[in-house]
Amino acid sequence: MFTKILIANRGEIACRVIQTARKMGIKTVAVYSEADKDARHVLLADESVHIGPAPSRESYLLADKIIAACKQTGAQAVHPGYGFLSENAEFSKRVEEEGIIFIGPKHYSIAAMGDKIESKKLAGKAGVNCIPGVNDAIETPEKAVEIAKGIGYPVMIKASAGGGGKGLRVAFNDKEALEGFTSCRNEARNSFGDDRVFIEKFVEEPRHIEIQLVGDSHGNVIYLNERECSIQRRHQKVIEEAPSPFISDATRKAMGEQAVALAKAVKYQSAGTVEFVVGKDQSFYFLEMNTRLQVEHPVTECITGLDLVELMIRVAAGEKLPLTQEQVKRDGWAIECRINAEDPFRNFLPSTGRLVRFQPPTETMFASDTSRWQGVRVDTGVQDGGEIPMFYDSMIAKLIVHGKDRLEAIAKMREALNGFVIRGISSNIPFQAALLAHPRFVAGDFNTGFIAENYSQGFRAEDVPHDDADLLIALAAFVHRKYRHRATAISGQMEGHEVEVGNDFVVLTLGQGGRTTATSVSVTGFDKKTGSSAIKVGASSYQIYSKYRLGEIRIEGTFNGEPFTAQVERGSVAFKNPLAIRVSHNGTQIDTLVMSKRAAELYALMPYKAPADMSRFVLSPMPGLLVDVAVAVGQKVQAGERVAVIEAMKMENVLFASADGVVGKLLASKGESLTVDQPIVEFV
């Protein structure tokens, strides 16, 4: 067994590998870029080596620097994590040639499966079901359109070296095929250094289901059940679960056996995943093989009771697999939510900056610990006060729960999301909570188009129906009453004019454009010592008990005897009002003002100041790099026409004109770093 390994990665996966290595008594070496010098994975490792500037192409993607770091520290093996160099066959080969063990498959297996065109041909020979398409690299956009027409729309345009949703577009017509081909090539060239693109038929109403497998150097390969990964947005996974609520035992067995056949055909060693697209009739087709550890590996660990990182390390050290196919368990139900740095209320645009507050829910399961299950686990590479840089992907953390069955897992996840506090940047937590409450998700009735179908107009928290909306108003009144109680204790009050708190309040729910909804509320039986109040909202009555302290964001307790977790904040950012109270629970978010009846009457007389009209400007919707400005001063532009391209978190984001106009001024130039809402183009 190794005594020291280097992790050629960053973020949560680097931390994850370090935890298992520590359990096994193996020392670890972290590598870091300039942007990551204070990152969590650097603090957790036994040693660390600086490998270059912030951009990954100048640090984490440089094989020479990784190998030099191994030699400098005496690391006998290197774990590549996922992304970066994890599926780079040349890197794997060079590492082995330098006498260092690559904790992953052999370079020939990576090469065989890493090329999505060649992998399909190999899969076909191994007896794996393959999807119709053209598996040769396409040279021009015009040829792409011609091929797409031949296969029949819709088609999927994919970069041969793609992954993680990058270099992938679905086209439903000639225009989309033409534009999609160009975008795929650009993204693939920038992310992977390989701009080959191919096209295949897009299966409608598809599910994305993958088989986790692991092989050793003694010819043994087993599959560890499946993961359901159909809840995707722009082809990037959002929620994963194991097992799948859709496939039958017979389909599971057939998919698993085909995955094993493919792995044996390429002499596969280590952990890997074979991805399938599954039709509504349970017909399944090979998509690709990921020759690395997957982001969503924790859900498989939960239901099998295995540590996949430990298996990878042991296999790399030459050990045999410790179990047979018959010994693979399927115990309970696990769900993972990817917590990303993106703003769901601004069309999921990237959000970067400092984590002013990072308070995950209480963990009862832990990465690398196979002794505790049926709980909550958080895998992350960040910490309170840390930075989310613009140079890497948007993942902040992975939230994993394990329950006895699917409904229990959903309930645990909703409660865990309610208690996950992230401030300073935006996160997709409200959206995740809304997805988990959707009746079709709860019923297991979904496919990869679920998010596009149900949230085609974007996502607004106030649009999410809450199963008990009065509870949110009651919580706002409960918190306000605690603030008023504190005011009664302020020293130096004029005798006869001390602060007095009544029982009756008006809760104003604040909407856009100055609209408000008033609700009368009474708060009685307030008891500071026990933290309880009786609150009446219309016809609803609540006995709320909570030890909540003013200034905290997470509020936990019981209402009418039922446990709850929610988030409350005073001083709403959205309404720039220091007295506004924001309440978030189960994906629903409301902003409120809690007042006396007289104050509410006076508030209703206040004039509404409309925000400045910015419709003449194209604004940067996120921090990022302006890589292209497609218009010039004096140019006539039609609605829907391409105006600019911004690159952030490894993704190209195209900005389009929202209306016809003539370009008056260019306010930013190509190569400039932009802030949120910075004007780029002004129309006249």
Query: Which positions are annotated as active-site residues?
Result: 288
Cα(29)–Cα(98) distance, rounded to whole angstroms?
17
β-strands 101-102, 77-79 pairing: parallel
Q: What is the CA radius of gyration of the chain?
A: 27
DSSP string, 67-102: HHHHHHHT-SEEE--SSTTTT-HHHHHHHHHTT-EE
Structure tokens, 348: 């999921």
Estimate to the nearest angstrom the gap between the alpha carbon of 457 and the chain centroid.
Answer: 20
* Cβ contacts of 155 within 8 Å, gap of 6 or more: 133, 147, 148, 170, 171, 177, 199, 200, 201, 202
Cα(302)–Cα(370) distance, rounded to whole angstroms?
8
Structure tokens, 184: 């795929």
Structure tokens, 513: 């454009």
Cα(568)–Cα(555) distance, rounded to whole angstroms?
7
* Cβ contacts of 20 within 8 Å, gap of 6 or more: 307, 309, 310, 313, 367, 368
Cα(564)–Cα(544) distance, rounded to whole angstroms?
10
> DSSP label at 130?
B
Residue 467 burial class via C-beta count within 10 angstroms: exposed 0-12, middle 13-18, buried 19 and up? exposed
Q: Are the C-beta atoms of 333 and 243 separated by less than 8 Å?
A: yes
> Taking CA 223 as the corner, what is the angle to CA 217 and CA 229, rounded to the nearest 5 degrees?
125
Cis peptide before 243 (omega within 30 of 0): yes
Q: How many CB atoms lie within 10 A of CB 178?
A: 16
Structure tokens, 261: 């056949």
Helix axes 89-97, 107-114, angle to 10 degrees: 170
Alpha helices per DSSP H over 425-556: 429-437, 439-443, 450-454, 469-488
**Residue by residue, what is the 3-state secondary structure of 361-372?**
CCCCCCCCCCCC
Residue 80 burial class via C-beta count within 10 angstroms: exposed 0-12, middle 13-18, buried 19 and up? buried
Cα(423)–Cα(294) distance, rounded to whole angstroms?
27
Cα(648)–Cα(652) distance, rounded to whole angstroms?
7
Dihedral-angle region of residue 560 (phi above 0 means left; psi in -120 to 50 means alpha; beta otherwise):
left
Cα(680)–Cα(678) distance, rounded to whole angstroms?
6
First to last CA, the chain: 69
Cα(25)–Cα(22) distance, rounded to whole angstroms?
5
Q: How many CB atoms lie within 10 A of CB 198?
A: 23
> DSSP label at 495?
T
Q: Are the C-beta atoms of 411 and 402 separated by less than 8 Å?
A: no
